[in-house]
Amino acid sequence: MSGSLNKVQLIGRLGADPEIKQMVNGKNVARLSVATSQSWKDKSTGERKEKTEWHRVVIFNEGLVNIVQQYLKKGANVYLEGQLSTRKWKDEKSGQDKYSTEIVLQGYNSSLTMLGGKNQSNNSNQTSEPKSSLPNDEMSQVSSDLDDEIPF
């Protein structure tokens, strides 16, 4: 369909350490829980209010999974770009159909940037053009992993 766009951009903090799982094809996948917050001042009471949204993020890109596994921990501040995806699954207990909406980072149009923090340097790791302060041998591994997923 022309004229449509499925793109998500978030800046938030990890609510837990990343979860790394191996899929049946042998590749790793990373799952993150990212919190975004907004705050405002209540006009009637003058009280400061805050609302936090939790986002499920799934990363299939092997280069980014490796970065997540090595460098991200609970509380890390990240910027990410991906796509919304809703999947259907069956609840084993009730047999009911359930739906989960996630932000998926996969392929060349996704990116993850670790934002500065106490234990982090400013590293940008994009699937199209990785940039990092990783040692050269580790960076070449990430770069070669990423090259395999470019569709042209």
Domain boundaries, the chain: 8-147
Q: What is the pTM of this model?
A: 0.70
Instruction: Render each residue's pLDDT in the chain as its tens digit; 152 residues.
Output: 678 999 999 999 999 999 999 999 999 999 999 999 999 999 999 999 999 999 999 999 999 999 999 999 999 999 999 999 999 988 889 999 999 999 999 988 899 999 975 544 333 444 333 333 334 344 334 434 444 444 43
Provide the pLDDT for residue 66. Answer: 93
Which has the closest alpha carbon to 68: 11, 125, 137?
125
Whole-angstrom distance, CA of residue 128 vs CA of residue 39 = 34
Bridge partners (DSSP) listed for residue 57: 32, 103
Provide the pLDDT for residue 139. Answer: 38
CATH class (in words) of the domain with range 8-147: mainly beta
Alpha carbon of 38 to those of 12, 14, 51, 52, 145: distances in Å?
11, 16, 5, 7, 36
